[in-house]
Structure 1
Amino acid sequence: MEKHEDVQYCFQDGNSSCRKAFLSTSIYITLYIFFSLISAVTVFLNLLVIISISHFKQLHTPTNLLILSLAVSDLLVGLIVIPVMTVAIMESCWGFGEYFCVFHFYVTFLCTTLSLGNLVLISIDRYVAVCDPLLYHSKITITGTICCISITWSCCIIYDAVIIQNFVNVQAPSDNLISYFTSYLALFNSLINPIIYAFFYPWFKVTTKLILTLKIRNL
Protein backbone atom coordinates (compact mmCIF):
# COMPACT_ATOMS: atom_id res chain seq x y z
CA MET A 1 0.00 0.00 0.00
CA GLU A 2 2.86 2.30 0.80
CA LYS A 3 4.45 1.61 -2.58
CA HIS A 4 1.20 2.45 -4.36
CA GLU A 5 1.07 5.84 -2.67
CA ASP A 6 4.61 6.59 -3.81
CA VAL A 7 3.66 6.13 -7.45
CA GLN A 8 3.49 9.43 -9.30
CA TYR A 9 1.64 10.06 -12.54
CA CYS A 10 2.26 12.54 -15.32
CA PHE A 11 -1.17 14.09 -14.81
CA GLN A 12 -3.59 14.23 -11.91
CA ASP A 13 -5.92 11.58 -13.30
CA GLY A 14 -3.92 8.49 -12.42
CA ASN A 15 -6.35 6.09 -14.09
CA SER A 16 -5.61 7.39 -17.61
CA SER A 17 -2.13 8.84 -17.11
CA CYS A 18 1.28 7.26 -17.56
CA ARG A 19 3.40 6.66 -14.52
CA LYS A 20 6.51 8.75 -14.08
CA ALA A 21 9.69 6.76 -14.58
CA PHE A 22 12.63 7.71 -12.42
CA LEU A 23 16.34 7.29 -13.07
CA SER A 24 19.23 7.97 -10.78
CA THR A 25 20.76 11.40 -11.25
CA SER A 26 24.08 10.01 -12.52
CA ILE A 27 22.43 7.79 -15.14
CA TYR A 28 20.03 10.57 -16.12
CA ILE A 29 22.83 13.08 -16.75
CA THR A 30 25.09 10.51 -18.43
CA LEU A 31 22.40 9.47 -20.91
CA TYR A 32 21.55 13.07 -21.74
CA ILE A 33 25.23 13.87 -22.37
CA PHE A 34 25.66 10.74 -24.46
CA PHE A 35 22.64 11.36 -26.67
CA SER A 36 23.54 15.04 -26.98
CA LEU A 37 26.99 14.09 -28.24
CA ILE A 38 25.44 11.68 -30.74
CA SER A 39 23.21 14.47 -32.01
CA ALA A 40 26.05 17.01 -32.21
CA VAL A 41 28.43 14.65 -34.03
CA THR A 42 25.69 13.63 -36.48
CA VAL A 43 24.96 17.27 -37.32
CA PHE A 44 28.65 18.17 -37.55
CA LEU A 45 29.66 15.33 -39.88
CA ASN A 46 26.70 15.72 -42.23
CA LEU A 47 27.14 19.49 -42.28
CA LEU A 48 30.73 19.01 -43.42
CA VAL A 49 29.52 16.80 -46.26
CA ILE A 50 26.84 19.32 -47.29
CA ILE A 51 29.24 22.29 -47.27
CA SER A 52 31.94 20.35 -49.12
CA ILE A 53 29.75 19.17 -51.99
CA SER A 54 27.72 22.38 -52.23
CA HIS A 55 30.69 24.75 -52.25
CA PHE A 56 33.10 22.96 -54.59
CA LYS A 57 31.71 22.76 -58.12
CA GLN A 58 34.20 20.08 -59.10
CA LEU A 59 32.42 17.79 -56.65
CA HIS A 60 29.09 18.17 -58.43
CA THR A 61 28.96 14.61 -59.76
CA PRO A 62 25.96 12.25 -59.80
CA THR A 63 27.40 10.15 -56.98
CA ASN A 64 28.17 13.16 -54.81
CA LEU A 65 24.71 14.63 -55.39
CA LEU A 66 23.26 11.41 -54.00
CA ILE A 67 25.60 11.65 -51.02
CA LEU A 68 24.50 15.27 -50.59
CA SER A 69 20.84 14.24 -50.53
CA LEU A 70 21.63 11.53 -47.98
CA ALA A 71 23.55 14.04 -45.84
CA VAL A 72 20.59 16.45 -45.81
CA SER A 73 18.20 13.77 -44.57
CA ASP A 74 20.74 12.61 -41.97
CA LEU A 75 21.28 16.22 -40.88
CA LEU A 76 17.55 16.47 -40.10
CA VAL A 77 17.87 13.34 -37.98
CA GLY A 78 20.65 14.85 -35.90
CA LEU A 79 19.07 18.29 -35.76
CA ILE A 80 15.43 17.38 -35.02
CA VAL A 81 14.76 13.68 -34.55
CA ILE A 82 17.47 12.72 -32.07
CA PRO A 83 17.00 15.70 -29.69
CA VAL A 84 13.22 15.32 -29.56
CA MET A 85 13.41 11.53 -29.27
CA THR A 86 15.91 11.95 -26.43
CA VAL A 87 13.36 13.98 -24.49
CA ALA A 88 10.58 11.54 -25.39
CA ILE A 89 12.60 8.58 -24.13
CA MET A 90 14.22 10.17 -21.11
CA GLU A 91 11.11 11.95 -19.86
CA SER A 92 8.16 9.64 -19.31
CA CYS A 93 5.76 12.59 -19.46
CA TRP A 94 5.27 14.24 -22.87
CA GLY A 95 4.63 17.93 -22.37
CA PHE A 96 4.76 19.29 -25.91
CA GLY A 97 1.19 18.59 -26.92
CA GLU A 98 -0.45 16.36 -29.50
CA TYR A 99 0.39 18.39 -32.61
CA PHE A 100 4.11 18.47 -31.91
CA CYS A 101 3.98 14.76 -31.17
CA VAL A 102 2.46 14.10 -34.61
CA PHE A 103 5.03 16.42 -36.20
CA HIS A 104 7.85 14.54 -34.50
CA PHE A 105 6.53 11.19 -35.72
CA TYR A 106 6.21 12.57 -39.23
CA VAL A 107 9.75 13.96 -39.32
CA THR A 108 11.09 10.70 -37.86
CA PHE A 109 9.37 8.58 -40.49
CA LEU A 110 10.32 11.03 -43.24
CA CYS A 111 14.02 11.10 -42.36
CA THR A 112 14.11 7.31 -42.04
CA THR A 113 12.47 6.67 -45.40
CA LEU A 114 14.58 9.37 -47.06
CA SER A 115 17.77 7.76 -45.78
CA LEU A 116 16.66 4.37 -47.08
CA GLY A 117 15.62 5.85 -50.43
CA ASN A 118 18.93 7.66 -50.85
CA LEU A 119 20.86 4.52 -49.93
CA VAL A 120 18.95 2.61 -52.63
CA LEU A 121 19.86 5.27 -55.20
CA ILE A 122 23.51 5.17 -54.12
CA SER A 123 23.50 1.36 -54.42
CA ILE A 124 22.10 1.57 -57.96
CA ASP A 125 24.68 4.21 -58.87
CA ARG A 126 27.55 2.07 -57.59
CA TYR A 127 26.13 -1.05 -59.27
CA VAL A 128 26.12 0.65 -62.67
CA ALA A 129 29.61 2.08 -62.09
CA VAL A 130 31.03 -1.35 -61.31
CA CYS A 131 29.07 -3.54 -63.72
CA ASP A 132 28.91 -1.17 -66.68
CA PRO A 133 31.72 1.38 -66.27
CA LEU A 134 32.05 2.21 -69.97
CA LEU A 135 28.44 3.34 -70.23
CA TYR A 136 28.21 4.82 -66.73
CA HIS A 137 28.48 8.46 -67.81
CA SER A 138 25.83 8.01 -70.48
CA LYS A 139 23.42 6.19 -68.18
CA ILE A 140 24.00 8.18 -64.98
CA THR A 141 23.81 11.92 -65.61
CA ILE A 142 23.49 14.89 -63.27
CA THR A 143 20.06 15.77 -64.68
CA GLY A 144 18.81 12.22 -64.27
CA THR A 145 20.24 12.04 -60.75
CA ILE A 146 18.51 15.27 -59.73
CA CYS A 147 15.23 13.91 -61.10
CA CYS A 148 15.64 10.68 -59.13
CA ILE A 149 16.42 12.63 -55.95
CA SER A 150 13.38 14.88 -56.46
CA ILE A 151 11.10 11.90 -57.05
CA THR A 152 12.46 10.12 -53.96
CA TRP A 153 11.89 13.15 -51.72
CA SER A 154 8.41 13.76 -53.15
CA CYS A 155 7.35 10.12 -52.73
CA CYS A 156 8.67 9.98 -49.17
CA ILE A 157 6.92 13.22 -48.20
CA ILE A 158 3.58 12.02 -49.61
CA TYR A 159 3.92 8.45 -48.33
CA ASP A 160 4.77 9.49 -44.77
CA ALA A 161 1.99 12.08 -44.77
CA VAL A 162 -0.47 9.27 -45.54
CA ILE A 163 1.03 6.95 -42.93
CA ILE A 164 0.99 9.58 -40.18
CA GLN A 165 -2.77 10.04 -40.63
CA ASN A 166 -3.44 6.76 -38.62
CA PHE A 167 -4.10 7.12 -34.57
CA VAL A 168 -0.66 6.72 -33.14
CA ASN A 169 -0.35 5.46 -29.60
CA VAL A 170 2.74 6.67 -27.77
CA GLN A 171 3.76 4.40 -24.93
CA ALA A 172 5.73 5.58 -21.96
CA PRO A 173 9.35 4.43 -22.09
CA SER A 174 10.60 1.65 -19.88
CA ASP A 175 13.15 2.34 -17.18
CA ASN A 176 15.32 -0.46 -18.65
CA LEU A 177 18.60 0.92 -20.00
CA ILE A 178 18.52 -1.51 -22.91
CA SER A 179 15.32 0.10 -24.19
CA TYR A 180 17.05 3.48 -24.41
CA PHE A 181 19.79 2.20 -26.69
CA THR A 182 17.66 -0.06 -28.88
CA SER A 183 15.46 2.94 -29.65
CA TYR A 184 18.50 4.69 -31.15
CA LEU A 185 19.90 1.84 -33.25
CA ALA A 186 18.09 3.01 -36.39
CA LEU A 187 19.23 6.61 -35.81
CA PHE A 188 22.92 5.71 -35.49
CA ASN A 189 22.83 5.08 -39.22
CA SER A 190 22.70 8.85 -39.77
CA LEU A 191 26.00 9.23 -37.94
CA ILE A 192 27.67 6.33 -39.74
CA ASN A 193 26.56 7.28 -43.27
CA PRO A 194 28.89 10.31 -43.71
CA ILE A 195 31.79 8.22 -42.43
CA ILE A 196 31.11 5.40 -44.90
CA TYR A 197 30.14 7.42 -47.95
CA ALA A 198 32.36 10.48 -47.57
CA PHE A 199 35.22 10.09 -45.11
CA PHE A 200 36.93 7.39 -47.12
CA TYR A 201 37.12 9.63 -50.19
CA PRO A 202 40.33 11.69 -50.56
CA TRP A 203 38.36 14.74 -51.71
CA PHE A 204 36.47 14.84 -48.43
CA LYS A 205 39.64 14.84 -46.38
CA VAL A 206 40.90 17.80 -48.42
CA THR A 207 37.67 19.79 -48.24
CA THR A 208 37.28 19.07 -44.53
CA LYS A 209 40.74 20.48 -43.87
CA LEU A 210 39.89 23.59 -45.90
CA ILE A 211 36.61 24.07 -44.03
CA LEU A 212 38.03 23.58 -40.54
CA THR A 213 40.98 25.90 -41.20
CA LEU A 214 38.60 28.50 -42.69
CA LYS A 215 40.60 28.52 -45.93
CA ILE A 216 37.37 27.84 -47.79
CA ARG A 217 36.64 31.59 -47.66
CA ASN A 218 39.55 32.28 -49.98
CA LEU A 219 38.36 29.82 -52.64
Structure 2
Amino acid sequence: MERQELCFPQLLNSSCRRPVRPHSEVVFFYTLLSSIALLTVALNLLVVISISHFKQLHTPTNLLLLSLAISDLLVGLLVMPVESIRYIAMCWLLGQLMCALSYIGGFMLTSASVANMVLISVDRYVAICYPLHYSTKITKKRVKCSICLCWASSILYNGIILKGHLQQPNKHNSCYGECVVVIDYISGTVDLVFTFIGPCVLIVILYMRVFVVAVSQARAMQSNITTVLPGRVTAKKSERKAARTLGIVVMVFLMCFCPYYYPSLAGQDISNNTSSWAIVSWLLYFNSCLNPLIYALFYPWFRRAIKLIVTLRILEHGSCETKIF
Protein backbone atom coordinates (compact mmCIF):
# COMPACT_ATOMS: atom_id res chain seq x y z
CA MET A 1 0.00 0.00 0.00
CA GLU A 2 1.18 3.51 -0.83
CA ARG A 3 1.94 5.57 2.28
CA GLN A 4 -0.40 8.54 2.70
CA GLU A 5 -0.65 11.62 4.90
CA LEU A 6 -3.34 14.18 5.71
CA CYS A 7 -3.44 17.51 3.86
CA PHE A 8 -4.61 19.19 7.09
CA PRO A 9 -3.56 17.08 10.09
CA GLN A 10 -5.57 19.29 12.48
CA LEU A 11 -8.78 18.23 10.65
CA LEU A 12 -8.44 14.53 11.29
CA ASN A 13 -11.95 13.48 10.24
CA SER A 14 -12.49 15.79 7.27
CA SER A 15 -9.05 16.30 5.71
CA CYS A 16 -8.13 14.85 2.32
CA ARG A 17 -5.32 12.33 2.08
CA ARG A 18 -2.44 12.44 -0.34
CA PRO A 19 0.29 9.93 -1.25
CA VAL A 20 3.74 10.72 0.10
CA ARG A 21 6.18 11.33 -2.75
CA PRO A 22 9.94 10.80 -2.50
CA HIS A 23 11.85 14.01 -1.77
CA SER A 24 13.90 13.67 -4.96
CA GLU A 25 10.72 13.43 -7.06
CA VAL A 26 9.26 16.55 -5.43
CA VAL A 27 12.48 18.52 -6.03
CA PHE A 28 12.62 17.36 -9.66
CA PHE A 29 9.05 18.41 -10.47
CA TYR A 30 9.34 21.74 -8.63
CA THR A 31 12.52 22.50 -10.57
CA LEU A 32 11.05 21.43 -13.92
CA LEU A 33 7.72 23.24 -13.61
CA SER A 34 9.27 26.36 -12.07
CA SER A 35 11.77 26.52 -14.95
CA ILE A 36 8.96 26.27 -17.52
CA ALA A 37 7.03 29.05 -15.74
CA LEU A 38 10.09 31.33 -15.52
CA LEU A 39 10.97 30.72 -19.17
CA THR A 40 7.39 31.45 -20.22
CA VAL A 41 7.35 34.73 -18.29
CA ALA A 42 10.80 35.82 -19.51
CA LEU A 43 10.20 35.08 -23.20
CA ASN A 44 6.75 36.64 -23.35
CA LEU A 45 7.98 39.66 -21.40
CA LEU A 46 10.60 40.15 -24.12
CA VAL A 47 7.85 40.06 -26.75
CA VAL A 48 5.76 42.59 -24.80
CA ILE A 49 8.72 44.96 -24.29
CA SER A 50 9.85 44.64 -27.91
CA ILE A 51 6.51 45.46 -29.49
CA SER A 52 5.62 48.12 -26.92
CA HIS A 53 8.96 49.95 -27.02
CA PHE A 54 9.98 50.06 -30.69
CA LYS A 55 7.69 52.24 -32.78
CA GLN A 56 8.57 50.40 -35.98
CA LEU A 57 6.87 47.32 -34.53
CA HIS A 58 3.56 49.11 -33.91
CA THR A 59 1.77 47.34 -36.77
CA PRO A 60 -1.72 45.77 -36.66
CA THR A 61 -0.26 42.25 -36.85
CA ASN A 62 2.19 42.91 -34.03
CA LEU A 63 -0.59 44.37 -31.86
CA LEU A 64 -2.30 40.99 -32.14
CA LEU A 65 0.95 39.27 -31.22
CA LEU A 66 1.22 41.64 -28.26
CA SER A 67 -2.24 40.63 -27.04
CA LEU A 68 -1.35 36.95 -27.40
CA ALA A 69 1.95 37.52 -25.56
CA ILE A 70 0.12 39.23 -22.68
CA SER A 71 -2.21 36.24 -22.27
CA ASP A 72 0.79 33.87 -22.43
CA LEU A 73 2.66 36.04 -19.91
CA LEU A 74 -0.26 35.87 -17.48
CA VAL A 75 -0.40 32.09 -17.89
CA GLY A 76 3.27 31.85 -16.87
CA LEU A 77 2.91 34.40 -14.08
CA LEU A 78 -0.40 33.35 -12.50
CA VAL A 79 -1.61 29.98 -13.76
CA MET A 80 1.57 27.88 -13.94
CA PRO A 81 2.74 28.54 -10.34
CA VAL A 82 -0.69 27.65 -8.94
CA GLU A 83 -0.93 24.52 -11.07
CA SER A 84 2.60 23.52 -10.00
CA ILE A 85 1.59 23.64 -6.34
CA ARG A 86 -1.63 21.76 -7.08
CA TYR A 87 0.14 19.00 -9.00
CA ILE A 88 3.12 18.52 -6.69
CA ALA A 89 1.52 19.08 -3.28
CA MET A 90 -1.60 17.16 -4.34
CA CYS A 91 -3.55 19.26 -1.84
CA TRP A 92 -5.27 22.61 -2.32
CA LEU A 93 -3.84 24.95 0.31
CA LEU A 94 -5.02 28.38 -0.93
CA GLY A 95 -8.65 28.43 0.22
CA GLN A 96 -12.02 27.97 -1.48
CA LEU A 97 -12.27 31.42 -3.08
CA MET A 98 -8.84 31.07 -4.69
CA CYS A 99 -9.91 27.64 -5.93
CA ALA A 100 -12.77 29.25 -7.88
CA LEU A 101 -10.71 32.22 -9.07
CA SER A 102 -7.84 30.02 -10.26
CA TYR A 103 -10.08 28.16 -12.67
CA ILE A 104 -11.95 31.22 -13.86
CA GLY A 105 -8.58 32.90 -14.56
CA GLY A 106 -7.19 29.86 -16.35
CA PHE A 107 -10.29 29.38 -18.51
CA MET A 108 -10.44 33.12 -19.27
CA LEU A 109 -6.84 33.18 -20.51
CA THR A 110 -7.50 30.06 -22.59
CA SER A 111 -10.51 31.70 -24.25
CA ALA A 112 -8.53 34.89 -24.84
CA SER A 113 -5.73 32.91 -26.52
CA VAL A 114 -8.24 31.19 -28.82
CA ALA A 115 -9.83 34.53 -29.73
CA ASN A 116 -6.39 36.04 -30.43
CA MET A 117 -5.61 33.13 -32.75
CA VAL A 118 -8.82 33.80 -34.67
CA LEU A 119 -7.92 37.50 -35.02
CA ILE A 120 -4.40 36.58 -36.22
CA SER A 121 -5.89 34.21 -38.82
CA VAL A 122 -8.26 36.90 -40.09
CA ASP A 123 -5.37 39.38 -40.27
CA ARG A 124 -3.25 36.99 -42.38
CA TYR A 125 -6.23 36.09 -44.58
CA VAL A 126 -6.85 39.72 -45.51
CA ALA A 127 -3.12 40.46 -45.92
CA ILE A 128 -2.55 37.57 -48.34
CA CYS A 129 -5.86 37.30 -50.17
CA TYR A 130 -6.76 41.01 -50.34
CA PRO A 131 -3.44 42.91 -50.15
CA LEU A 132 -4.87 46.04 -51.81
CA HIS A 133 -7.53 46.42 -49.12
CA TYR A 134 -5.38 45.41 -46.14
CA SER A 135 -4.32 48.91 -45.10
CA THR A 136 -7.92 50.17 -45.18
CA LYS A 137 -9.64 47.13 -43.65
CA ILE A 138 -7.06 46.24 -40.96
CA THR A 139 -6.24 49.48 -39.12
CA LYS A 140 -4.66 49.93 -35.71
CA LYS A 141 -7.90 51.36 -34.32
CA ARG A 142 -9.95 48.39 -35.50
CA VAL A 143 -7.37 45.93 -34.19
CA LYS A 144 -7.32 47.61 -30.77
CA CYS A 145 -11.13 47.52 -30.61
CA SER A 146 -11.11 43.84 -31.62
CA ILE A 147 -8.56 43.02 -28.92
CA CYS A 148 -10.59 44.82 -26.23
CA LEU A 149 -13.73 43.00 -27.38
CA CYS A 150 -11.83 39.71 -27.32
CA TRP A 151 -10.75 40.15 -23.68
CA ALA A 152 -14.11 41.49 -22.51
CA SER A 153 -15.96 38.58 -24.13
CA SER A 154 -13.58 36.05 -22.54
CA ILE A 155 -14.15 37.50 -19.06
CA LEU A 156 -17.95 37.67 -19.47
CA TYR A 157 -18.27 34.26 -21.12
CA ASN A 158 -16.23 32.37 -18.51
CA GLY A 159 -17.90 34.26 -15.68
CA ILE A 160 -21.25 32.92 -16.90
CA ILE A 161 -19.97 29.36 -17.47
CA LEU A 162 -18.34 29.15 -14.01
CA LYS A 163 -20.83 31.30 -12.10
CA GLY A 164 -22.07 28.34 -10.06
CA HIS A 165 -18.52 27.32 -9.16
CA LEU A 166 -17.78 30.87 -7.96
CA GLN A 167 -20.92 30.93 -5.81
CA GLN A 168 -20.25 27.47 -4.31
CA PRO A 169 -16.53 26.74 -4.76
CA ASN A 170 -16.68 23.69 -2.47
CA LYS A 171 -19.74 22.14 -4.14
CA HIS A 172 -17.86 19.16 -5.58
CA ASN A 173 -15.23 18.85 -2.83
CA SER A 174 -15.48 15.71 -0.72
CA CYS A 175 -12.89 16.80 1.89
CA TYR A 176 -10.69 19.73 2.96
CA GLY A 177 -7.65 20.13 0.73
CA GLU A 178 -9.51 19.41 -2.50
CA CYS A 179 -10.28 21.85 -5.30
CA VAL A 180 -12.57 20.24 -7.83
CA VAL A 181 -14.42 21.92 -10.66
CA VAL A 182 -16.85 19.88 -12.74
CA ILE A 183 -18.36 21.23 -15.95
CA ASP A 184 -21.51 19.29 -16.82
CA TYR A 185 -22.17 17.88 -20.28
CA ILE A 186 -24.39 20.75 -21.45
CA SER A 187 -21.99 23.51 -20.37
CA GLY A 188 -19.07 21.47 -21.69
CA THR A 189 -20.77 21.12 -25.07
CA VAL A 190 -21.48 24.86 -25.28
CA ASP A 191 -17.88 25.61 -24.28
CA LEU A 192 -16.61 23.06 -26.80
CA VAL A 193 -18.53 24.70 -29.67
CA PHE A 194 -17.81 28.34 -28.83
CA THR A 195 -14.25 28.01 -27.49
CA PHE A 196 -12.84 25.20 -29.62
CA ILE A 197 -14.79 23.72 -32.56
CA GLY A 198 -16.13 26.99 -34.00
CA PRO A 199 -12.88 28.99 -33.72
CA CYS A 200 -10.72 26.08 -34.89
CA VAL A 201 -12.90 25.40 -37.96
CA LEU A 202 -12.71 29.10 -38.85
CA ILE A 203 -8.92 29.16 -38.31
CA VAL A 204 -8.36 26.06 -40.48
CA ILE A 205 -10.59 27.37 -43.30
CA LEU A 206 -8.87 30.76 -43.34
CA TYR A 207 -5.37 29.26 -43.32
CA MET A 208 -6.24 26.75 -46.05
CA ARG A 209 -7.29 29.70 -48.19
CA VAL A 210 -4.13 31.61 -47.22
CA PHE A 211 -1.98 28.60 -48.11
CA VAL A 212 -3.58 28.15 -51.53
CA VAL A 213 -3.26 31.85 -52.41
CA ALA A 214 0.33 32.09 -51.09
CA VAL A 215 1.41 29.06 -53.13
CA SER A 216 -0.15 30.46 -56.30
CA GLN A 217 1.54 33.82 -55.74
CA ALA A 218 4.91 32.18 -55.13
CA ARG A 219 4.59 30.17 -58.35
CA ALA A 220 3.64 33.29 -60.28
CA MET A 221 6.74 35.10 -59.00
CA GLN A 222 8.99 32.14 -59.81
CA SER A 223 7.57 32.10 -63.33
CA ASN A 224 8.43 35.82 -63.71
CA ILE A 225 4.84 36.73 -64.42
CA THR A 226 4.67 40.49 -64.51
CA THR A 227 1.13 40.89 -65.78
CA VAL A 228 -1.61 40.36 -63.24
CA LEU A 229 -5.34 40.37 -63.67
CA PRO A 230 -7.30 43.40 -62.48
CA GLY A 231 -8.01 43.15 -58.78
CA ARG A 232 -5.40 40.45 -58.25
CA VAL A 233 -2.31 41.89 -56.58
CA THR A 234 0.49 39.77 -55.17
CA ALA A 235 1.10 40.19 -51.45
CA LYS A 236 4.51 41.29 -50.25
CA LYS A 237 7.12 38.64 -49.54
CA SER A 238 7.27 39.78 -45.90
CA GLU A 239 3.51 39.27 -45.56
CA ARG A 240 3.75 35.71 -46.93
CA LYS A 241 6.65 34.98 -44.58
CA ALA A 242 4.62 36.29 -41.66
CA ALA A 243 1.71 34.11 -42.73
CA ARG A 244 4.00 31.06 -42.75
CA THR A 245 5.37 31.82 -39.29
CA LEU A 246 1.96 32.51 -37.81
CA GLY A 247 0.70 29.36 -39.53
CA ILE A 248 3.25 27.40 -37.47
CA VAL A 249 2.02 29.20 -34.33
CA VAL A 250 -1.57 28.20 -35.15
CA MET A 251 -0.59 24.59 -35.89
CA VAL A 252 1.27 24.25 -32.57
CA PHE A 253 -1.68 25.88 -30.83
CA LEU A 254 -4.10 23.28 -32.24
CA MET A 255 -1.78 20.41 -31.26
CA CYS A 256 -1.60 21.68 -27.67
CA PHE A 257 -5.31 22.43 -27.31
CA CYS A 258 -6.88 19.34 -28.91
CA PRO A 259 -6.07 16.88 -26.04
CA TYR A 260 -7.50 19.38 -23.53
CA TYR A 261 -10.90 19.33 -25.22
CA TYR A 262 -10.94 15.59 -25.96
CA PRO A 263 -13.26 14.69 -22.99
CA SER A 264 -15.90 17.08 -24.33
CA LEU A 265 -15.50 15.62 -27.82
CA ALA A 266 -15.99 12.16 -26.32
CA GLY A 267 -19.14 13.26 -24.49
CA GLN A 268 -17.64 13.08 -21.00
CA ASP A 269 -17.98 15.48 -18.05
CA ILE A 270 -14.81 17.50 -17.47
CA SER A 271 -13.28 17.17 -14.01
CA ASN A 272 -9.91 18.36 -12.75
CA ASN A 273 -9.79 15.40 -10.38
CA THR A 274 -8.79 12.84 -13.04
CA SER A 275 -5.25 11.54 -13.47
CA SER A 276 -4.97 12.78 -17.07
CA TRP A 277 -6.00 16.36 -16.20
CA ALA A 278 -2.50 17.45 -15.15
CA ILE A 279 -0.95 16.17 -18.39
CA VAL A 280 -3.40 17.79 -20.83
CA SER A 281 -3.50 21.01 -18.78
CA TRP A 282 0.27 21.41 -18.76
CA LEU A 283 0.41 20.63 -22.49
CA LEU A 284 -2.04 23.48 -23.02
CA TYR A 285 -0.06 25.82 -20.73
CA PHE A 286 3.21 24.85 -22.41
CA ASN A 287 1.86 26.38 -25.63
CA SER A 288 2.38 29.78 -23.94
CA CYS A 289 6.10 29.03 -23.76
CA LEU A 290 6.35 27.77 -27.35
CA ASN A 291 4.91 30.87 -29.05
CA PRO A 292 7.84 33.24 -28.30
CA LEU A 293 10.31 30.45 -29.16
CA ILE A 294 8.72 30.29 -32.62
CA TYR A 295 9.07 34.06 -32.96
CA ALA A 296 12.77 33.80 -32.01
CA LEU A 297 13.34 31.12 -34.65
CA PHE A 298 11.51 32.81 -37.53
CA TYR A 299 11.42 36.56 -36.82
CA PRO A 300 14.80 38.37 -37.25
CA TRP A 301 13.25 41.53 -35.77
CA PHE A 302 12.53 39.70 -32.53
CA ARG A 303 16.13 38.50 -32.24
CA ARG A 304 17.42 42.05 -32.85
CA ALA A 305 14.99 43.45 -30.29
CA ILE A 306 16.12 40.87 -27.70
CA LYS A 307 19.74 41.90 -28.28
CA LEU A 308 18.89 45.57 -27.70
CA ILE A 309 16.89 44.73 -24.56
CA VAL A 310 19.47 42.41 -23.02
CA THR A 311 22.31 44.89 -23.63
CA LEU A 312 20.11 47.64 -22.07
CA ARG A 313 20.40 49.80 -25.18
CA ILE A 314 16.66 50.42 -24.96
CA LEU A 315 17.45 52.73 -22.01
CA GLU A 316 19.28 55.13 -24.33
CA HIS A 317 17.51 58.30 -25.42
CA GLY A 318 15.58 57.84 -28.66
CA SER A 319 16.00 54.04 -28.68
CA CYS A 320 12.30 53.63 -29.47
CA GLU A 321 13.07 55.04 -32.95
CA THR A 322 15.68 52.34 -33.67
CA LYS A 323 15.24 50.54 -36.99
CA ILE A 324 14.57 46.88 -36.22
CA PHE A 325 14.14 45.69 -39.82
Which amino acid is the alignment partner of residue 209 of structure 1?
A: K
Q: Give the alignment partner of residue 10 of structure 1, picking from 4, 7, 11.
A: 7
Q: Return 160-169 or 76-85, whichever deviates more.
A: 160-169
What percent identity do the matched residue pairs reach? 46
Partner residue, 1:85: 83
Which amino acid is the alignment partner of residue 202 of structure 1?
A: P
What pairs with 1:136-147 in structure 2 (closer than 5 Å)?
A: 136-147=134-145
Partner residue, 2:73: 75
Partner residue, 1:188: 286
Determine the C-alpha separation between the residues in 2 that align with 1:21 and 1:70: 38
Structure 1 pair 26/100, CA: closer, same or farther in 2 (3 Å)? same
Q: Classify the secondary structure of the residue corresponding to 1:95.
A: coil
Determine the C-alpha separation between the residues in 1 that align with 2:121 and 2:295: 11
Q: Classify the secondary structure of the residue corresponding to 1:76.
A: helix
Q: Deviations along 1:88-120, whole A, 9 cap, x unmatched?
A: 111122111111111111111111111111111
1:182 to partner: Cα distance: 3.4
Aligned 8 A contact 2:295 2:302 in 1: no
Q: Return 9-18 or 191-200, whichever deviates more.
A: 9-18
Determine the C-alpha separation between the residues in 2 that align with 1:7 and 1:120: 46
Partner residue, 2:311: 213
Q: Classify the secondary structure of the residue corresponding to 2:17.
A: coil
Q: Return 95-104 or 46-55, whichever deviates more.
A: 95-104
1:173 to partner: Cα distance: 6.0
Aligned 8 A contact 1:66 1:149 in 2: yes
1:183 to partner: Cα distance: 3.1
Q: Give the alignment partner of residue 58 of structure 1, picking from 56, 59, 65.
A: 56
* Structure 1 runs, 4 residues or longer, greater than 6 Å off: none
Structure 1 pair 26/182, CA: closer, same or farther in 2 (3 Å)? farther
Q: Give the alignment partner of residue 108 of structure 2, picking from 107, 110, 135.
A: 110
Determine the C-alpha separation between the residues in 2 that align with 1:71 and 1:134: 28
Q: Classify the secondary structure of the residue corresponding to 1:96.
A: coil
Structure 1 pair 198/61, CA: closer, same or farther in 2 (3 Å)? farther
Aligned 8 A contact 1:46 1:75 in 2: yes
Kindly report the root-mean-square deviation, in angstroms, between the aligned alpha carbons of the 2 structures.
Answer: 2.2
Determine the C-alpha separation between the residues in 1 that align with 2:295 and 2:4: 48
What pairs with 1:19-168 in structure 2 (closer than 5 Å)?
A: 19-167=17-165
Q: Classify the secondary structure of the residue corresponding to 1:8.
A: strand
Structure 1 pair 194/7, CA: closer, same or farther in 2 (3 Å)? closer
Q: Deviations along 1:143-165, whole A, 9 cap, x unmatched?
A: 11001001001101111111221
What pairs with 1:171-186 in structure 2 (closer than 5 Å)?
A: 171=180, 180-186=278-284
Q: TM-score, normalised by structure 2?
A: 0.61
Aligned 8 A contact 1:21 1:91 in 2: no
1:121 to partner: Cα distance: 0.6
What runs of 5+ residues in structure 1 fail to find an aligned partner?
A: none
Determine the C-alpha separation between the residues in 2 that align with 1:7 and 1:83: 24
Aligned 8 A contact 1:106 1:160 in 2: yes
Q: TM-score, normalised by structure 1?
A: 0.89
Structure 1 pair 198/117, CA: closer, same or farther in 2 (3 Å)? farther
Which amino acid is the alignment partner of residue 182 of structure 1?
A: V
1:40 to partner: Cα distance: 0.3
Q: Return 188-197 or 165-174, whichever deviates more.
A: 165-174
Query: Number of paired residues?
Result: 214
